[in-house]
Structure 1
Amino acid sequence: MTRKNLSLKKYRQAEAVKLSLGKPFFESEGIAIYQGDSLELGSNLPHSVFDALISDPPYCSGAAGTAVGADPSKKYCHSGNTLGRPSFGGDFRDQRSFKYWCSLWIGQALRACKETAYGLVFTDWRQLSTMIDALQAGGFCFKGLISWNKGRGARAPHKGFFRHQCEYIPWGTKGAVPRLTDRGPFDGCYSIPVLQKDKHHMTGKPTELMQRLVQCVPKGGIALDPFCGSGTTLVASALEGRQAIGFEASEEYCEIAARRIEAAKRGELMKYERPVAV
């Protein structure tokens, strides 16, 4: 997306973000990645710029609060096998500290969002009530729940369980829900399978799902993802004609996200390929 594709107002808003945050790790026509801690970067965001917060933070689901260095692969991957995907940090908080931490970065995002902006944050069944509380503590007005059905491939500990095949997206707005004429209403439930060729992070979400969610952002508008991981929110934004800013602590994932965005700008989806052992 180039300057000529944007209104002057939207262009100036994107430039205001860059002036506040400095030089990005990666930038391409309205999409930018900043490497660093989400709270540190979020404290420098300008006010009233973003059209939506759309993010998939670490769930810290079932975390005991004592294993700060624990490897998430033991929790999120079958037999701890990541299939070559890098691990990630920040998944160690207990429920109380998780709620406090989320309310901090959500509050930062709220200040950076425009009036009537959307807030969409992923979570699972264990942390659902906690994330709903954190969304409201951060200042968004809780409006409902979006469900994502991953399909019957979802794990169950044994045959006595109902499968945990849904994850959830509490959503709200900064103030009143906007009355739209150019898009919406949006689906409240998505049944989209996880495809290994499209999964670049061990907890990555399908690109198709994120493409559907970024529809709440107006064409040319800006989404904020403080935990962009392998960059799926940014990739979806590029494919759907939106701008996006992402934060990511891991340099390795910043590089993966950058390559995926470059492919998306060519109208392609980069396929995941397991690294070859040397």
Structure 2
Amino acid sequence: MKNFLHQGDCLPFLESLPAARVDALITDPPYASGGLHIGSKNRSTSEKYQNNDTVRKYPEFTGDHRDQRAHLRWMTLWLSECLRVMKDGAPICLFTDWRQLPLTTDALQVAGFTWRGIAVWDKGEGVRPQMGRFRNQAEYIVWGSKGDMPLARDVGVLRGVYKEVVKQKDKFHITGKPTDLMRDLIKICTPGGLILDPFAGSGSTLLAAELEGYDWLGCELSEEYKTIALERLAQEH
């Protein structure tokens, strides 16, 4: 199975996949970090993440309300299934923010992956400035591999810091990542390999894979976002 986007919960989908099939896992799961207390965490995703000056309104997404213990348990469940479906030595990249950075590194290792480092996405200086505070202008990519990761793979040296601003014409999800960012990031996968994204959202990872000549496999819980992702992919054909 390749170049297929499933609509539904990622756990049953991952359980249905054969073992040792995937060459790289690159995904942007819900962070569950929009608020420090249960009341703020349970707000809608548009309330938590959509700026008031944003013209476009995006569909809501689920799974962003868990407390720390529930989020760690959930991350470990699906990451353990991802470990099974990945080939030995395959890389994994997980987006996260500053609040969930420690938890994400824990979940990666609890699931059985080897943690190898953190890359940075610099979103630029226009992101939510607050007087007297450091700008929250970065998000993070926790990365590792399934066991040993040979240096002899046909992959060059990748950047440790990616500077890409979010452009409205390229934004189709409340927390969507720039396509150009994903086109660079997925190059950690061996050329022509199969890239898995269990949280496809508006399809940025899948589109980047398509544009760069990789095969892809995705899952998205929201029917609205699945439709958006497929429309974006169709425009490339």
TM-score scaled by structure 2? Answer: 0.94
Q: Are positions 1:84 and 2:57 aligned together?
A: yes
Please name the residue that 1:115 is paired with: 88
Note the aligned Cα RMSD (angstroms): 1.6
Which amino acid letter does the alignment assign opposite residue 155 of structure 1? Answer: R
> Do the aligned residues in 2 keep the contact of 1:64 with 1:92 (CA within 8 Å)?
no
CA shift, 1:64, in A, is 3.7
Q: Distance in 2 between matches of 1:186 and 1:217?
A: 11
Deviations 1:68-125 (A, max 9, x none): 8631111111139572211111100011111110011111101000000001000000
CA shift, 1:258, in A, is 0.4
CA shift, 1:177, in A, is 1.7
Deviations 1:172-192 (A, max 9, x none): 011112223532111111011
Q: Distance in 2 between matches of 1:69 and 1:126?
A: 16
Aligned residue pairs: how many? 236
Please name the residue that 1:191 is paired with: 163
Please name the residue that 2:70 is paired with: 97
Q: Distance in 1 between matches of 2:54 and 2:73?
A: 31
Uncovered stretches (5+) of structure 1, i.e. residues with no partner: 1-17, 19-29, 267-278
> Do the aligned residues in 1 keep the contact of 2:10 with 2:199 (CA within 8 Å)?
yes
> Do the aligned residues in 2 keep the contact of 1:63 with 1:93 (CA within 8 Å)?
no
Q: Are positions 1:130 and 2:103 aligned together?
A: yes
Deviations 1:176-232 (A, max 9, x none): 122235321111110111111001001000000100111112222101101000000
Counterparts of 1:50-69 in structure 2 under 5 Å?
50-61=22-33, 62=35, 64-65=37-38
Q: Distance in 2 between matches of 1:202 and 1:66?
A: 20
Which amino acid letter does the alignment assign opposite residue 132 of structure 1? Answer: T
Q: Are positions 1:207 and 2:175 aligned together?
A: no
Percent identity of the aligned residues? 45
Q: Distance in 2 between matches of 1:63 and 1:36?
A: 28
Please name the residue that 2:44 is paired with: 71
> Do the aligned residues in 2 keep the contact of 1:110 with 1:140 (CA within 8 Å)?
yes
TM-score scaled by structure 1? Answer: 0.81
Deviations 1:19-78 (A, max 9, x none): xxxxxxxxxxx4210000011211212100001110000110036446786311111111
Q: Distance in 2 between matches of 1:98 and 1:80?
A: 30
The alignment partner of 1:92 has SS state of coil
Which amino acid letter does the alignment assign opposite residue 177 of structure 1? Answer: M
Q: Distance in 1 between matches of 2:154 and 2:184?
A: 15
Runs of 4+ off more than 6 Å: none
Please name the residue that 2:218 is paired with: 246
